[in-house]
Every structure is written in C-alpha cells, then in structure tokens.
Amino acid sequence: MNKSIINVVALLVLLCVVQTVVSDDKIFGGEYADEGQFPFMVELAIDGAFICGGSLIGPYHVVTAAHCTGLVTTEALQIWAGSVDHSLDQGVFINVAAVYNHPDYNSDTLKNDIAVIKLKTPFPKATGVRTISLASILVNTGVEVTFAGWGKTKYDNYPYLLRYASAPVITTTKCRSYNDYGDVSGTSQICAFESGQDPCEQDSGGPMFTGTGAAATQHGVVSYGVGCGIKPEVYASISYYRSWILSKAVHTVSTTCNGCTTNTAWKNMCESMGGTHRKTSVSYQCQNLNPFKTRKINTSWIGCSDALLKNFCEKVGRYSCVGGNGKCTPL
C-alpha cells in the first residue's frame, strides 16, 4: 500500500479513537475571521487533506497537538498558511523538516498533548504569515480567550473560511466537576467554556490566545473536549511547556562569505535574537536563535548593498530598503 495512503488511514484511525473518548475539535459557533486578523494560524495537511490546526511561533517552527502528529511521518506532513480561505489557491504549503512530540505524551489520557514542528523553509514574505508570542505566565481564570480554526461548525459542515469564537477560562475545580474531566491537570492543562462556543472536529492543535495580529499571545493548544459547545475544552498550557518548546524551536543560521572582516551590524543582529555569534575565516555563523526574539527584531544599517546582512535578514525576517538604509523587521 502507498505510504501516503497508510499515513492517512493511520490518522483517521487515531481521530476515530480520540472521538470515542473525547471530541476532536473545530470551531462551533463564533464568526468568520477577516484576512490578516490571525496571521499566525496554520493547518496541518497530508496529501493536501487538512487534519489539524497549529500556530507559527517562529520563522521555522509551528506548535500543535501531539495527537495530530503521533502517527504521521515527517515526509507526508505539510503546513499550510497564508489565507483565511483554503478553498482558493492563495495559501502556501511548506514541507516539514522534523516533528518533535512531547516525550511524555500519552495517547490514552492526552496528557502532554503538545508538539513542535520544524519547517524546511520559512513562509514567503508575500503570504502575510506572521508569528505569535507565547505566554510565559498562566492565564487568569475569567479571562476571555479566543480560539480559531477551519473545523466543524454547528451546521455539521467544515467551512473553507477561518472561524473564531471565545470563552472564559474556568477553574480546574469547575472543569473537573463535569463528567469525563476528573483527571484534568491543574498545572499543565487549561479549561475554558462558553455554551455553544467551542473548538470542534479538526480544530485540534490550534492556538488558544488573547489579542489579534501582532499583539496576540498564545496561552494554550487545543487538546480535547467532550462534544462541541456542551462541555469545557481542555488546552495544553503554553506557559507550562514554554521551556520545552524553546528547547525544540531553535535553529542555526549560517552565511558564508570570503575574506570577511568583522561585521558589527550582523553580529548585533544575531545577538539581539539570542543567538551565538561565530566568525571563521570563510563564514559568519549565528546559532540557536531564540524564536521568541526573532519576531521582535527591528534592525537598520547604513546602505542597502550589504548582501551578507540582507541574506541573514531574509532567513529570519523581512528585508527592505528604507531611505537608502537596509532594514530587517519581524516575520
């Protein structure tokens, strides 16, 4: 049997297993999103068939749920983004370089249901895809959070247009009071609930967040819920897993040049993104960039003809020439 077919069958089996215990998720209720409102939203796909949601946290990295990637090979998986409408040819598919499921992920209980995906290349600048910040502290009870996706709606269909809705965060005690939620963790999981407003099938792996656009902060990853819009949704907590995410979402940028002298602007750019700068006789290297700092880069330098700086910038951000000076701004 063709490997891609095996992957699809395996994933469908997994989703069916998940749904017998908890409901895999898509946006139930809510409204349609405007173009550019949530530019960090991505979808996971196998052979062009969308299976789960996710969020872009750095030029090369996506966060999603581990139950979305557990039975999928790296070669078969692609990440799609670039439009609110996936019925049109406006978005872009990017191939995957690596998938990191949390080492303690439990497919029976859906504990530690989080994964990091590394892309082979960043999304082209023209797509308008941007990154989202990751929360460093737990979101407070009562805060109204947003979730978005292309998943199942209350009309029992799967929309082509991105939808979003919101719900308040509830206490772990309140969450556990519902049947089937007795083992929800008070540290690594977050619950939110609003009757009739909920992620639903195929929204799994998508972000739970506050704010919009560049001001958005992700607090959770859609993990599971019983039914759609009738009981709380459980999310893997971003603040709890932040250190683990950071340990996986690193990458090396290397730019080769012949006979280079010290380039202070290049060095400063690397260090401003948390990277380690290294110069050899033939190359500049910037290793282990911090994905949470690459989205904050805003660096200018004199002149637009410095190919070394332009090359580096385009690997981590957007390059432009402003008033005769080179400039690098976030993806």
Q: pLDDT confidence of 318, banded at 50, 70, 90? A: confident
CA 251 to chain centre: 16
CA nearest 171: which of 189, 196, 152, 198? 189
Q: Which residues are catalytic?
A: 67, 113, 204
Please tell me which residue, 23 or 202, carries the higher pLDDT value. Answer: 202
Please tell me which residue, 54 or 226, carries the higher pLDDT value. Answer: 54
User: What are the extents of the domains in the chain?
Assistant: 3-247, 250-330
CATH number for the segment(s) 3-247:
2.40.10.10
User: Is the model's pLDDT at 12 over the cut of 80?
Assistant: no
Q: What is the mean pLDDT of the chain?
A: 83
Q: Each residue of 128-153: pLDDT tens digit? A: 888 899 999 999 999 999 999 988 77
User: Which pLDDT value is given to residue 27?
Assistant: 57
Kindly report the pTM of this predicted structure.
0.80
**Whole-number percent of the chain with pLDDT over 90:** 43
User: Is the model's pLDDT at 21 over the cut of 60?
Assistant: no
Q: Each residue of 38-47: pLDDT tens digit? A: 999 999 999 8
User: Which pLDDT value is given to residue 262?
Assistant: 64
Q: Each residue of 102-124: pLDDT tens digit? A: 999 999 999 999 999 999 988 88
Mean pLDDT value of segment 15-26? 37
